[in-house]
Amino acid sequence: MQSKGNAGNEDPVKQKHARILRNVGILLKEGHFSPLPINDAFSISVLKKFTEDLDTDKNMFFQSDIDQFQKYATVIDDEILGKPIESFYEITDVYKKRLDEVQEIYNQVLQQPFDYTIQERVELDPKKNNHPKTEAERKDNWRKRLKYLTLAKYVELQEERDKNKGKDDFVVKPDSTLEREARQSIQKQLDRFFNTKKNRETQDELFSSFVNAVASLMDPHTNYYPPVDLRSFNEGMSGRFYGIGAQLKEDDGKIKIASLVTAGPAWKNGELKENDEILKVGQGDAEPVDVTGFAVSDAVKLIRGSQKGSEVRLTVRKPDGTIHVVKIIRDEVKLEDTFVKSAIIEGENRIGYIYLPEFYADFERPDGARCAVDVARELEKLKAENVEGIIMDLRGNGGGSLYDVVQMVGLFIPDGPVVQVKGRDEKSSVLRDRDRNVQYTGPLAVLVDETSASASEIFAAAIQ
């Protein structure tokens, strides 16, 4: 007789999740600048963070659910360190069930008019709310919230009616009709919201949220990126991606083509047009994915790919109602909004203006886009125009490549230290500009705001 271990019978998805969580735990412990100990106290914080992320407004889970989850309060740290994962699967199973229940609640409540003669109060601050203890309490909480949302929309429709009353071709509707339309509008909004949650929150996506609850407790800037999100991050940093060159929009819950990038793959293909509705996205031998109810960002992730020359199949509905399957070969598309731009402000003085949305860098290509190189090029253009000063606009710039900010500071100073970096071993290293050449020596102003961070702060401080 031959005995068999349990390892070979384990769910491969659960095996993958266990590997990811274990590796993230190792990386945090060994690579974080100042890691927190992964112990029972940390475990308690992870459980609280994850359940709050799932139910921010405290209107889905019952208090009994939260109490039940407490059995994992001092277990998650052991799961991070290698114990089989149980907490995530039980919590998300309950979460999915509660999501379905809440959809049923709002669909029932919004079928009938509200009684606005009764004065009621709804608390919208989740910090002041508690999880409901009973189904009746949860339903009543939702009824009050829905009444509030409907009332706000109802008043908006009444104001629109009063504003347009007397105009040609404007139909004056009675209050009862406006109230019904307000409820229908709120139902559409909630349908889109919940359908998007269900489409987006696959088991892998929910697991990413779980791992991020772990990572973000180390510090707010530590995140876990699953492969598709890492690809999106790299696309944003490099300013390029492999796709079809189309801008998408959401129109009453439908995903439509807003515009095509001139000379992009879709534009060259010629079959895809503005206002075509995307129904399904397919690639390879896999079944096409129905994107009904998807958020635009989630549909974009499906349409973009990791390889140039790969094929994507879009099932689209034309404005005349006909259905077509459009096959497009992905190609490289540049995100022009990522890159530096310059202009000249004409006035009493001739001022150069440089806008840098982020400190971008293509880490995958030696000859790829680098913001320091591009800023140097724009400086040369402005100098050739004999500007009397330059404004460097870093408002809204959340940072990016540390290497490039050091190089960029070097465009304005002869040489010297730019920023000091300290590792977890407490040893400091100074990143310096070692090129004595100065590209621009004239008046320089740097614009920052409350959203300018990281590399933007380094640049502003070094220049100052």
CATH of the domain at 393: 3.90.226.10
Q: Is residue 192 part of a domain?
A: yes
Q: At what angle do helices 87-109 and 40-54 cross, to 10 degrees?
A: 20
For residues 181 and 67, state if they share a domain: yes
- Classify residue 236: in a domain, yes or no: yes
Q: Which pLDDT score is estimated for 371?
A: 96
Decide which of 316, 334, 352 is a domain's last residue: 334
Handedness of CA 105, 108, 111, 112 (dihedral sign): negative
Asked if residue 112 lies in contact with residue 143, where contact means CB atoms within 8 angstroms, the answer is: no
What's the burial of 425, exposed, middle or buried (CB within 10 Å: 0-12/13-18/19+)?
Answer: exposed
State the Cα–Cα distance between residues 46 and 39, nearest whole angstrom.
11
Q: How far apart are CA 397 and CA 358, in angstroms?
A: 5
Position 460 scores a pLDDT of 96
Closest CA to 214 of 460, 14, 29: 29
Domain membership of residue 4 (yes or no) is no
Per-residue model confidence (pLDDT) at position 292: 83
What is the length of the chain?
464
Q: Are residues 371 and 271 both part of a single domain?
A: no
Q: Is there a single domain that holds both residue 397 and residue 325?
A: no
How many domains, in total, are found in the chain? 3
Question: Is residue 367 in some structural domain?
Answer: yes
Does residue 182 sit in the same domain as residue 142? yes
Structural domain includes residue 222 = no
Co-location of 50 and 63 in the same domain: yes
Do 100 and 184 lie in one domain? The reply is yes
How far is 354 from 390, CA to CA, in rounded Å? 7
Q: Is 441 helix (H, G, I), strand (E, B) or coil?
A: coil
Q: Are both 28 and 137 inside the same structural domain?
A: yes
Residue 139 and residue 180 share a domain = yes
Determine the pLDDT at residue 285. Answer: 79
- Of the candidates 280, 308, 334, which is a domain's last residue? 334
Residue 149: its pLDDT value, please? Answer: 96
In a domain, 221, yes or no: no
Do 132 and 49 fall within a single domain?
Answer: yes
In 3D, which of 181, 143, 146 has the Cα closest to residue 160? 181
CA-based nearest residue to 58, from 122, 151, 153: 122
Choose one of 164, 188, 216: the last residue of a domain: 216
Distance CA 406, CA 434 (A): 10
Query: Residue 426's pLDDT is what?
Result: 77
Q: Is residue 280 part of a domain?
A: yes
Q: Are 242 and 305 in contact (CB under 8 A)?
A: yes
Indicate whether 59 and 178 sit together in one domain. Answer: yes
CATH classification at residue 285: 2.30.42.10
Say which amino acid occupies 326: V
Same structural domain for residues 208 and 276? no
Residue 48 belongs to a domain: yes
Which of 408, 400, 462, 406 shows the shortest CA–CA distance to 431?
Answer: 406
Residue 311: give the domain boundaries: 227-334
pTM, two decimal places: 0.78
The conformational region for residue 440 under phi > 0 = left, psi -120 to 50 = alpha, else beta, is beta
DSSP letter (8 states) at residue 178: H
| Shared domain check, 91 and 14 | yes
Q: What is the pLDDT of residue 2?
A: 45
- Residue 7 has a pLDDT of 44
Per-residue pLDDT 10s for the chain (464 aa) are: 444 444 444 789 999 999 999 999 999 999 898 899 999 999 999 999 999 999 999 999 999 999 999 999 999 999 999 999 999 999 999 999 999 999 999 999 999 999 999 999 999 999 999 999 999 999 999 999 999 999 999 999 999 998 888 888 888 899 999 999 999 999 999 998 898 888 878 899 999 999 999 999 999 889 999 888 888 888 888 888 899 999 999 887 789 999 998 889 999 999 999 999 999 999 877 889 998 878 898 899 899 987 889 999 999 999 999 999 999 999 998 888 889 999 999 999 999 999 999 999 998 888 899 999 999 999 999 999 999 999 999 999 999 999 999 999 999 999 889 999 888 877 889 999 888 889 999 999 999 999 999 999 999 999 98
3-state secondary structure 26-63: HHHHHHCCCCCCCCHHHHHHHHHHHHHHHCCCCCCCCH
- Quote the distance between the C-alpha of residue 273 and its chain's center: 27
